[in-house]
Structures are given as structure tokens and as C-alpha cells.
Structure 1
Amino acid sequence: MSIEPSYALQQLISRLEQHLTVVSQSRGSADAAVDAAFGSLADAFQTYEDALYDQYSELLPFTIPTDDDDDE
């Protein structure tokens, strides 16, 4: 059973807001909370994109960078 795109979008917006809050209160690049917020945001993005694809066969025009991208 797939998730509703509108619900996935609301979750993505929530994670974006959460990410902004964490980043704005960060104590530096080694702050584990920033990494956790990034991961949560990336997961929400992927869930939203999957929901869009399942329902409408559409993808978003951008991707989340991965550690593999650093190798290129």
C-alpha cells in the first residue's frame, strides 16, 4: 500500500522546518543533530518522491547528494 502524496508532502515540509531549526541552532559542522536532521529530511524527500511516482508516474527535478557523489 502506497502513501498519499499529500501526506508525504506534509511530512516533507515538516522535516524541512525541523532541519532549519536544527541548523540554525547548530554548534558546528560536527553537530550530530544536523546529520540526523539531514537524514530525516532525505528520507522524507524519498518518501514524497516515491508517492508521486506511485500515484502519478512523476519524479522531482533534483536528487539528494550521497557520499558516492563525492567520488565523482
Structure 2
Amino acid sequence: MYRESMSTDPSYALRTLIAHLEQHLAVVSQSRGAADAAVDAAFGSLADAFEDYEDALYEQYSELLPFTIPNNDQ
């Protein structure tokens, strides 16, 4: 999955994460079922934004979040 270049500014990364959370909710609320590719795409974008935010937090403050993203590749 393609990831945009990460900003090291945690505030920017947080705003981006919130936008992806809102987009995910919009897509899920209009989903046509479990096989809806738009839901998978929204999940992937949200996961990327989460990782960018956590990376920015760690880089700036050496802090991690108490969450993990499920990985279906394992």
C-alpha cells in the first residue's frame, strides 16, 4: 500500500489521522457488505495514518500509542 510522506509534526499527523477516521466512518456507514472494497481501502488508509501519527509522536517525544493495527499478513 502506498503511504504519503510522513510529516514529523505530531499535530499535523493527528489532524490527518482524524480526517481518516472520519472518512472510514463515512465509508463504513455506506458499506454494501463485508466484501466492499471501499471499506478495505478506508481501513488501509486509516492504518497508514495511525502509523504516521505514532511515528511522529515517537520521533518528537519518544512516545508510543497503546494500540496496534491488526495485520492479516501474519
What is the TM-score of this pair, normalised by structure 2?
Answer: 0.89
Amino acid across the alignment from 1:23: V
* Aligned residue-pair number: 68
Question: What secondary structure is seen at the aligned counterpart in 2 of 1:48?
Answer: helix
Alignment check: 8 A CA contact 2:17 2:50 kept = yes
Radius of gyration: which is bigger?
Answer: 1
Match of 2:54 in 1: 49
Alignment check: 8 A CA contact 1:2 1:54 kept = no
Match of 2:9 in 1: 4
Match for residue 30 of structure 1 among 29, 35, 38: 35
Alignment check: 8 A CA contact 1:8 1:51 kept = yes
Cα deviations by residue, 1:29-67 (Å, 9 ceiling, x for unpaired): 000000000000000000000000000000000100011
Give unpaired runs (5+ residues) of structure 1: none
Structure whose residues are more often helix by fraction: 1
- Asked if residue 21 in structure 1 is aligned to residue 26 in structure 2, the reply is yes
**Offset at residue 2 of structure 1 (A):** 5.0
Which stretch shifts more, 1-10 or 58-67?
Answer: 1-10
Identify if the C-alpha distance between structure 1 residues 25 and 2 changes in structure 2 by more than 3 Å, giving closer, same or farther: closer
Aligned-residue RMSD, C-alpha: 1.2
Hey, what's the Cα distance between the residues in 2 that align with 1:18 and 1:40? 9
What is the TM-score of this pair, normalised by structure 1?
Answer: 0.91
